[in-house]
Structure 1
Amino acid sequence: MTERVSRATTVAKLPAKLRLSNYLGYAAGDAANNLAFSMASMFLLLYYTDVVGIPAAAAGTIFLVVRVYDAFVDVVIGRLVDRTHSRWGKFRPWILLGSLPLLLASVWAFTLPTADSDAMKLFWGYVSYGVLSTLYSVVNIPYGSLAATMTQVPTERAKLATFRNVGAAATGLLLALVVAPQVQRWSSANLFAAKSAELGAGASQAELDAAQAAASAEAAAGLQSSLTTITLIFVVVGLGLYLFTFFTAREQVARPAEDSVRFGAAMRTVLRNKPLLMLCISALIMLTATLALNTLGIYYARDVLGNASIYPVLSLLMTGAIFVVAPFVGKLVSRIGKKNGYLLGGLVFFAGALILWLAPSSTPVFAYVGYFLLGAGQGLVNILMWAMEADTVEYGEWQTGKRTEGTTYAVFSFVRKLGQAFGGFAAAGIIGLTGYVGGAAVQSAEAIQGIRIAAGLAPAALALLAVLVMSRYPLTDARFKEITAETEARKAAALAAEG
């Protein structure tokens, strides 16, 4: 009888309204996550091609294979998370214990040992990135699942998603401001131009060839040293952010004591969840588009616009657009709903990517406009994507009577990882097929056009497809309120019957 009273009290207790510290703590978690994730998505391909010396197409295969592998790891971690019980809750212990290994793995990924053969270069690339991705899943799956247990209020979930996106965007901007100047400083083209000027107009071809080789070697060594230092600093910064998340982002939505779902039942719950499936398909397509764009941003600035120092400006515009959009998401959701907000974001992203493809190299202002629209569209989609994922947990509970935050988030993350795999692979594959040569002082016209296609045209087409898929998403905000009310009524009736 005591157990029944305890359960009744736990289920009936309403979660406290979230405070600013809760929102900031949740934002800090994704800011820390992206010290590893965004660092890899924005600069790891460049590191592979220009420092390690891995051909672009082969580097793209690393992203494809490891991210597909990691998509399956996500499901395993999700199941382990769903079965976790501790005095710190279900999710926060994973964040606490996994954070330092993840940050150290990021250092390793950007500090690979020197190897003479392509086989060994690829070996170290696969192993280091595989470890980094696995540890990222260990931290990110419980972190993402945490939102569904912090609150059930739709507006508060939208705010959590907004703060999460702002935290990630702030890290993206930090990376652009810190890393891009180092890319420009250690550009082989710039170093070669300086050495050529020193040789003068009468330099022989042999002298120019030697100068180019020396510039490439100096650029690789300088960029390697810079990236190692930066990632080591990020270990300290990231650990502080994770600890802040651990102490402030607490679980509040109670689960029944027996609500530990077997894998088969959890997967049946997920596969019957039509809103989750539609969201997953659209997210897969959208993530393919955004990862292709993010992977080639530094290439676009350096090789298309002719100056890597422009990249922080592009990132600032993209991030600034997210900060402009974020305060209005709550009002937008209350007026048109999350689904229509998602569709709007996808169309804005489509317009920005189209401009990026068509923008003339001689007029960077067009690229600036394109990046601002890309940031606004991507920010709106990402904010609402996370809020909608949390909503699908309630849908699954209403449909089956079982709450599976970890497994639901893991499946969603599985699909996102596939999108990331396809996006990174497509970006690297396109520039590889169109003739990009890592470390070269001058890229061919075909290679530059390949960067335009991979960073602009392909993301535009994919974004439009994602919008078409999402137009059939069935879980409106009004329907969400209905199913949560029905679920709570069932719980109350069950408790009354037990009493």
Structure 2
Amino acid sequence: MTSKIAEAMKSDSKVPFHRMLAYASTDAAGNLLYTTVTTFILYYYTDIFGLSVAAAGTILLAARILDAFDAPVWGFIIDHTHTKWGKSRPWFLWMAFPFAIFFILMFWSPQLSTGAKFWWAMITYLLFGISYTGVGTPISSILPNLSNDSEERIKLNSTRMIGGNIGYLVTATFTLGIAAFLGGGNDTLGWRYTAIIFAIIGFALLLFAFLDTKEINQDAEKSIPILKSIKAAKNNWPWVILVVVFIFYWLGNASRTSVVVYYTQYNLGVKGFASVLNALVMFQMVGMLLIPLLVKKIKKSHVLIFGMCLAAFGQLLIPLAGHSLISLGIVWSIASVGTGISVSMPFAMLSDTVDYGEWKNGIRASGFLTAIGSSFAIKIGSGLGGWAPSVILNKVGYTAGVNQSHSTLSAIQFCISYLPAIFFVIGALIMILYIRYESKENQIKADLNARRDTL
């Protein structure tokens, strides 16, 4: 009888393919819009909207620091959401329109004074960042409630990552071409129309996700008080280390991608090659596929260190590629394999730090810890990573749309090569501190299982 019940429960946990597609559409929508921003916003602000590089850098820094702290707030909001649709699912519906409309407004380029342009960019960038967290947080928090079967969850997460990579590929590869085509020589209109198209697609994908996902375990979910959630981070050093390392990954990744268009346009004289380099970032999938093989041979912390070092190595090879587009594509792909490993491992390891927090403090605050470990780290890292090149370019006197000086070209090359490599290496060095905690994981799991058995 017991086996029949277990079999029935497992059968109920099976997720149909159409529902997996609905879940994948969440990350596809998120990456389609968010990657457009992280990849092109600095270039858009300076060369299309007409802001100075200093003003653009200030916006990236200030807005990202402000909206980075909404990650725990969104975690608390979702933890305390109770509807007939569940905790996480309704936010796909509620946030679809704000997410789309703020994206459009960012790329609208109204005719304003210089000062008004600054505040328009600041406010729309900030509101878009907040709305992105409102979409991104439930993408992670809904997973445990889509199925009770661990194998199904793995399939769901894999499908989600594929959806995210498709969203990234579309915007990274085609945005420049679509904007040029739709603008017909008017860059302002081209970017505006492109933003409208992407926003409509993103809105439709999130609406599909809401309509075709289904949460279970609603009655079993209990809200954890805010102060108690925060206490789960007390003395949780592996979590602290992982968050800091993830921030340095995003520092490197953002500084790497934010100057691609500058490098191909001014240093190489082939602006369109930026789309090729952005497409080659899909080599991250190679790194992601290598992870299961690598973790069987070496520690997870060693895998992450290897990924960061490989990414740094690829970036350092960029100056050696010179003006050879083929060589540049090869070294960019090498770095992308490293970033694929580096961006995936922290997500896989965050659950271990949640276990450590429960073992150390007796509190399992997975929502709060993973929100800080993912959304907060992404926003702080990508914000500062996009700001750092703007400071450097401002120091050397970058002016949009003109022939750049030798010092400016050297600065652009530094920002796309050595700067991200420095960030990646620092992250790898900090990760060394994690190794001692990883050696305790088996004991921690055994202690937690024994503790739960006594309850």
TM-score, with normalisation over the residues of structure 1? 0.81
The match for 1:296 is 259
The match for 1:284 is 247
Residues 26, 249 of structure 1: 8 Å contact kept:
yes
The match for 1:327 is 289
**Match status 1:305 vs 2:268:** yes
**Match status 1:145 vs 2:141:** yes
- Cα gap change, 1:254/1:481 in structure 2, threshold over 3 Å: closer, same or farther? farther
Equivalent-residue separation in structure 2 for 1:155 and 1:388 (angstroms): 18
Question: Where does structure 2 lack aligned partners over 5 or more consecutive residues?
Answer: none
Equivalent-residue separation in structure 1 for 2:351 and 2:15 (angstroms): 16
Structure 2 counterparts to residues 387-426 of structure 1, below 5 A: 387-412=348-373, 413-426=375-388
The offset of 1:68, in angstroms, is: 0.2
The offset of 1:246, in angstroms, is: 3.5
- Cα gap change, 1:422/1:369 in structure 2, threshold over 3 Å: closer, same or farther? same
Equivalent-residue separation in structure 2 for 1:305 and 1:228 (angstroms): 27
The match for 1:209 is none
Of 301, 312, 324, the residue aligned with 1:339 is 301
Higher-Rg structure is: 1
**Match status 1:173 vs 2:169:** yes
Residues 354, 365 of structure 2: 8 Å contact kept:
yes
Secondary structure of the 1:271 match is: coil
**Match status 1:448 vs 2:438:** no
Structure 2 counterparts to residues 1-400 of structure 1, below 5 A: 16=13, 24-116=21-113, 118-147=114-143, 162-181=158-177, 222-246=186-210, 259-319=222-282, 321-360=283-322, 362-400=323-361
Q: Percent identity?
A: 28
What whole-Å deviation, never above 9, does each CA across 1:267-322 have from its counterpart, x for those lacking one?
A: 11123322211111101111111011111112122222211111122122221x12
Residues 48, 54 of structure 1: 8 Å contact kept:
yes
- Cα gap change, 1:57/1:104 in structure 2, threshold over 3 Å: closer, same or farther? same
- Cα gap change, 1:395/1:244 in structure 2, threshold over 3 Å: closer, same or farther? farther
Question: Where does structure 1 lack aligned partners over 5 or more consecutive residues?
Answer: 1-8, 188-217, 495-499
Residues 179, 193 of structure 2: 8 Å contact kept:
no
Residues 181, 308 of structure 1: 8 Å contact kept:
no
- Cα gap change, 1:267/1:170 in structure 2, threshold over 3 Å: closer, same or farther? same
The offset of 1:324, in angstroms, is: 2.8
What whole-Å deviation, never above 9, does each CA across 1:360-388 have from its counterpart, x for those lacking one?
A: 1x222221122101211111111222122
Equivalent-residue separation in structure 2 for 1:344 and 1:252 (angstroms): 38
Equivalent-residue separation in structure 1 for 2:202 and 2:193 (angstroms): 14
The match for 2:452 is 491
- Cα gap change, 1:186/1:102 in structure 2, threshold over 3 Å: closer, same or farther? closer
Amino acid at match of 1:115: L
The match for 1:210 is none
Residues 148, 390 of structure 1: 8 Å contact kept:
no
Equivalent-residue separation in structure 1 for 2:442 and 2:72 (angstroms): 28
Amino acid at match of 2:206: Y
Equivalent-residue separation in structure 2 for 1:74 and 1:163 (angstroms): 24
The offset of 1:335, in angstroms, is: 3.4
Residues 286, 462 of structure 1: 8 Å contact kept:
yes
Moved more, 467-476 or 39-48: 467-476
TM-score, with normalisation over the residues of structure 2? 0.88
The offset of 1:106, in angstroms, is: 0.4
- Cα gap change, 1:392/1:155 in structure 2, threshold over 3 Å: closer, same or farther? farther
Secondary structure of the 2:40 match is: helix
Equivalent-residue separation in structure 1 for 2:15 and 2:239 (angstroms): 25
Equivalent-residue separation in structure 1 for 2:72 and 2:329 (angstroms): 39
Secondary structure of the 1:472 match is: helix
Secondary structure of the 2:189 match is: helix
Secondary structure of the 1:365 match is: helix
**Match status 1:463 vs 2:424:** yes
